[in-house]
A and B are shown apart, each in its own frame.
Chain A
Amino acid sequence: MPHQKKTFRKESITVPFMVKQLRTAVGVEVEEVNDVDPSQHKVIESNLHRPGLALAGYVELFTYQRVQILGNTENQFLRDLPAEKQREAFGHLVQFPMPCIFLTDSNRLGDDLVAMATEAEIPVYRTAVPSTQFMALLRDFLYDQFAPQQTLHGSLVDVYGIGLMLTGKSGIGKSEVALDLVERGHRLVADDVVIVTKKEEQVLMGSGTDLVQHFMEIRGLGLLDVRAMFGIRAIRFQKRVEVIVRMELWDSDEEYTRLGMVDSHETVLGVKLPVVKVPITPGKNITVICEVIAMTHLLRHYGYDPAEVFSERLAQRIREKGSRVPSRGTEYFEHDYE
Chain B
Amino acid sequence: MITREVTVTNRAGLHTRPASMIVRTASQFDADFYIEKDGYEINGKSIIGVMTLAAEQDAKLKLHFDGEDEEEAATAIEELFESGFGEVK
Contacts and interface: CB of A to CB of B under 8 A. Distances in A.
Contacts of B64: 3
Interface string B19-41: 00000000100001010101111
A5 interface: yes
Contacts of B12: none
Given A2-B66, A3-B1, A3-B66, A192 B40 contact: no
A307 interface: no
A215 B51 CA distance: 12
Interface in B51-89: 51-52, 54, 64, 66
A280 to B, nearest CB: 18
Nearest to A5: B41
- Give the contact-size bracket for chain B: 20 to 34
Contacts of A158: none
A216 B46 CA distance: 10
A211 B27 CA distance: 23
A217 B47 contact: yes
Contacts of A171: 27, 45
B39 A6 contact: yes
Interface string A92-130: 000000000000000000000000000000000000000
B6 interface: no
Contacts of B66: 2-3
Contacts of B36: 6
A192 B1 contact: no
A193 interface: yes
Given A171-B27, A209-B52, A212-B51, A6 B46 contact: no
Contacts of B32: 3
A191 interface: yes
B45 A212 contact: no
Contacts of A212: 48, 51-52
B40 A151 contact: yes
Given A1-B1, A3-B32, A212-B48, A193 B42 contact: yes
B43 interface: yes
Contact of A193 (B1, B27, B45, B48): B48
Contacts of B38: 8
Given A1-B1, A3-B66, A212-B51, A192 B39 contact: no
Contacts of B51: 211-212
Interface of A: 1-3, 5-9, 150-151, 153, 170-171, 191-193, 209, 211-212, 215-217, 223
21 contacts: A1-B1, A2-B66, A3-B64, A6-B41, A8-B39, A8-B40, A8-B41, A150-B41, A153-B43, A153-B49, A170-B27, A170-B45, A170-B46, A171-B45, A192-B48, A193-B42, A193-B46, A193-B48, A215-B48, A217-B46, A223-B48
Given A6-B39, A215-B48, 16 more contacts: A2-B1, A3-B66, A6-B40, A7-B39, A151-B41, A151-B42, A153-B42, A153-B49, A170-B27, A170-B43, A170-B46, A192-B43, A192-B48, A192-B49, A193-B52, A217-B48
